Structure 1
Amino acid sequence: MAKILVDAGHDVTVIAPPPHYQRKMGVRTWLQERKFSSAVENNTGPAGEHIVRSGFLPAGSSLTLRALNQATVALGAIWVVLKRPGKLCGYQPDLVIGTVPALPTAFATRFAAARFKAPYIIDLRDAWPDLLEEFSNWNKGTGRKSLRERVLSRGPMQLISALTRTVVNGALKNAAGISVTSSKLAQDLAARPEIMTDGHTPPIETIRNVFPPETCYVKDEGPRPEGERLNVLYAGTFGRAQNLENAIKAAELARAQGVDIELRFVGAGVTRDALTETAEHRAVEVSFESRQPAEDLAPFYDWADTALVHLTDWEALDRAVPSKTYELMAARVHISGVVSGEAADIIRDRGAGDIVTPENPQQLADLWVHLACHRQRLAINGDGATWVEDERSTTAPERLLRLIDKATQ
């Protein structure tokens, strides 16, 4: 998105902490590297944007540590806005954009806009704040409930959830514009009275998350022998919203029907240990490999007969589309979609693969058995790759620039 803005002639300055989501950092290292303070980087970013690094506390795998990390990231951004170090001295933006995968950023964005006396856009990356309603299920895929979770679930979390929803809705209501990543979420937000003023919501645009690291890979769709084996790849995040244990159960059920499923999980995330433990106790072939850059995934895509796009059955996820969906469509890799809502509609309508209901391992097993025995179903005959390219090169830039025009009028 920064590249679209720079290419359109806008000057972009980004306030963000150093990349640390995948990095294990102890308190001593954090103190030695002074990651609690802000700094202006000398070089511009890959899109030509200026970068101001804000402070943070190291993230952890638990919900409590993640929430603390997100809160300190927001506070770090607020401190930068107040301090205005280096290139920010005297800086006056025409517009503030806050990208909100982390909920506290909504408050930081509203604060920054007030400080700069500028309008702001909330770039809503997921179906927040609706996902707060699923708090009781957040640790389902980790295989355990922590003591903190048991304590928080008896009152404190309900209070935190209500407060967070109020803050996020307030930020949305007072925004000059909202961008979302799915059309169903846009439709849902447009009908919510809590973010309306005089019966109207701020302008909302659907800007799909079609900007993964680009590769030139396109899968060779040559014939493969039909038989009693299917190679299934999952390359992505092992997160709470995925609940990938469902896929392991499906592989075991398919084997009972005479078809061997070889599962390869490539990535990282909070549920990896629980998945590994589950696989050890199931009669399945499963391998786990570390996270790979997009440009290094070609051998995995070559190996795979089909690739998983997998979500659990939370209602809010009907309005979410995993970015991996678009990457696989562009690469013309058959998708086994364990999704509902808009993600299911896109895969089905664009002929990019097959869909089954989330949290139904028997359905997924039946699909894999059918694909193994009827491999012509693995051929991609839809227009998914062309559609993704059009979204990336034309539709998304047009919508983003249109939203900015509306917000700054």
Structure 2
Amino acid sequence: MKILVISQYWYPENGVPQRRWTWLSDLLRSKYALEVIAPPPHYRRNLKLLDWAKQIVGRGRGDLEFGPSGERIHRTFFIPGGNSLTQKALNQLTVAMGMMLKLTVLSFSHPSRKPDVIIGTVPALPTAVVTYFASKVLRAPYIIDLRDAWPDLLSQSDQWNNSVGSRSFREFLLSHGPLQGASWLTDRSVNWVLAHSSGVMVTSSHLEENLRSRFSKNGRELPLVTIRNVFPSRTDFVRQYVNEDLKGTLNVLYAGTIGRAQNLANAVEAAKIAATSGVDVHLRFVGAGAAKEALREMAEALGVHAEFYFRRPADALDEHYEWADTALVHLTDWEPLERAVPSKTYELMSSGLHISGVVAGEAAEIIEYCNAGEVVPPERPRELAALWVRLANNPSELRVGNLGREWVAKERTEIAPEKLYAFIRNVFGDK
């Protein structure tokens, strides 16, 4: 069987979608031929105009690459993005147009090249439409790999900028009409693509259940499978001991995206509240995102002890993991996020670090089931502060057992591969 993957994020980039698909590519390449259409690496890179132009010109002279699993990668046109919603949208739309052009130009007509199945990875949301377009052009069935609860998160668009400070004038204008129209069109388009797919891969069982209830109607049951983001961690760190002598302090690490869906202002406020109970919470944020500067300003204004570090790959986080007494997994209280599990949850469970989970839904259930830490509801800073005060005063509660590490290892090495192969086999048969 020959598989074509369409994605806006790919190796050698190091984000969650890229690491997920480096892992899945390795699994798929053990059984199938794999080709990829993706833009050049530019995610979270501040490309200058001249560098971008050189990259585009260079790609025109030969754009076929090979990934770490031996997958053939066809690179596409793109315009660099940024942190603002409009910049991200422009980037995703231009990449989508480049993908359509690439699909038109590439000669998949020869029987040896034509894919048997197409997999589109979402987000970015325009990729769903490109995947549907590709299925028509190439006359091949398609699967959507749906990471997070899209398009349901579009219903929260009026709250997307709550954690990033004041909106730009451009975003203010676009939010009065254009954003609503674009959200409505995207919601309808993505749901149409999902409903007409040959199957959908998701990252949480709650999302799988939600989609099954919505799309399995009129006698047709939409094939669904949950493949969690349990891709291999790039750190070998394992917590060996717990500091029993905290002396009224608690080191709290957050490593990940500092963005809209996290709203980490809640954690800063909790640290301020904990100080009134005599506990000095030291916050350390490692990462990047649209809300980082607003969060830094808030911490300074409240006098909270907070350090900010640039985003680092997982294999460079060991010193931060060693420093931390507990690690923060944090989402805001948007209803669709109850069907999302931050991938950092699995890495922290593998590392044996105590998790302070500010999450609801499936993420909370996993942390509690695996005894990987403790959970408080999102947007409840007083409850989070109370948790941190209790941990600082009772450091023995920071110990976690091996259940979380064993659970993740089994999901990664046994359950996910078996489910992936069975899903493709059941939907498309053996070819």
Please indicate the TM-score interval, normalised by the length of the shorter structure. over 0.9
Aligned with residue 184 of structure 1, among 202, 206, 215: 206
CA distance in 2 between partners of 1:392 and 1:352 (Å):
17
Q: CA deviation at 1:288?
A: 0.5
SS at match of 2:102: helix
Separation in 2, partners of 1:129, 1:95: 23
Percent identity over the alignment is: 49
Deviates more, 1:399-408 or 1:54-63: 399-408
Matched, 1:104 2:126: yes
Distance between the aligned counterparts of 1:303 and 1:313, measured in 2?
28
| Deviation by residue 1:221-273 (Cα, 9 ceiling, x = unmatched) | 24521420000000111111001111111111111110001111111111111
Residue 349 of structure 1 deviates from its aligned partner by 0.8
Q: Does 1:155 align with 2:177?
A: yes
Task: Sort the Cα spacing of 1:87 and 1:324 in 2 relative to 1 into closer, same or farther, 3 A.
Answer: farther
The one-letter amino acid of 2:385's match is: A
Look up the SS of the partner of 2:150 in the other structure: coil
SS in 2 for 1:61: coil
The answer to whether the aligner puts 1:260 opposite 2:283 as a matched pair is: no
TM-aligned CA deviation for residue 218 of structure 1: 0.8
Residues 376, 24 of structure 1: CA spacing in aligned structure 2 closer, same or farther, 3 A cutoff?
same
Structure 2 equivalent of residue 5 of structure 1:
28
Unmatched 5+ stretches in structure 1: none
Which residue of structure 2 lines up, in the alignment, with residue 293 of structure 1? 313
So what's the TM-score if we normalise by structure 1?
0.95
Question: Take 2:97 and 2:58, find their aligned partners in 1: how far apart are those partners?
Answer: 10
Q: What is the aligned partner in structure 1 of residue 348 from structure 2?
A: 328
Among 220, 238, 254, the residue aligned to 2:258: 238
Contact 1:244 1:275 in 2 (8 A): yes
SS of the residue corresponding to residue 237 of structure 1 reads coil
Q: Does 1:205 find its partner at 2:220?
A: no
Q: Which moved more, 1:153-162 or 1:380-389?
A: 153-162
Deviation at 1:87, TM superposition (A): 12
Residues 1:114 and 1:198: Cα distance change in structure 2 (over 3 Å): same
What secondary structure does 1:34 align onto?
helix
Contact 1:329/1:388 (8 A) holds in 2: yes
Provide, for residues 59-114 of structure 1, a one-character-per-residue CA deviation record: whole Å limited to 9, x for no partner.
01110110111111111111111100699997201110000011000001111111
CA distance in 1 between partners of 2:125 and 2:70 (Å): 27
Structure 1 residues 14 and 6: alpha-carbon distance in aligned structure 2, compared to 1, 3 A threshold: same
- Residue number in structure 1 paired with 2:20: none
Give the length in aligned residue pairs.
406
Q: How does 1:64-213 map to 2 (within 5 A)?
A: 64-84=86-106, 91-192=113-214, 195-196=215-216, 198-213=218-233
Q: Report what 2:293 is aligned to.
A: 273
Listed as ranges, the gaps of 5+ residues in structure 2 are 1-23
Q: Aligned equivalents of 1:40 and 1:12: distance in 2?
A: 19
Amino acid at match of 2:332: T
Instruction: Please give the per-residue CA displacement for 1:352-385, whole angstroms capped at 9, x wherever unaligned.
Output: 0010111111111110000000011100025111
d(CA) in 2 for partners of 1:139 and 1:88? 48
1:118 Cα deviation from its structure 2 partner: 0.9
Distance 1:287 1:87, change over 3 A: farther
Q: Aligned partners of 2:129, 2:116: CA distance in 1, in Å?
A: 19
Query: Is residue 340 of structure 1 aligned with residue 360 of structure 2?
Result: yes
Q: Which amino acid in structure 1 is aligned with residue 53 of structure 2?
A: L
Worse overlay, 253-262 or 211-220 = 211-220
Distance 1:196 1:241, change over 3 A: same
Q: Secondary structure at the match of 1:126?
A: coil
Alignment deviations for residues 129-153 of structure 1 (CA, whole Å, 9 cap, x no partner): 0000000110111011222332233
Q: Under a length normalisation based on structure 2, what TM-score does the superposition of the two structures give?
A: 0.90
Give the direction of change, closer, same or farther, for the CA distance of 1:283–1:208 in structure 2 (3 Å limit).
Answer: same
Backbone CA RMSD of aligned residues: 1.9
User: For structure 1, which segment, 266-275 or 196-205, has the greater mean C-alpha deviation from structure 2 after superposition?
Assistant: 196-205
User: How far off its partner does 1:49 sit?
Assistant: 1.1
| Aligned-partner Cα distance in 1 for 2:402–2:80 | 44
CA contact (8 A) 1:125 1:180 kept: yes
Corresponding residue SS for 2:56: coil
Task: Identify which range, 273-282 or 153-162, moves more after superposition.
Answer: 153-162
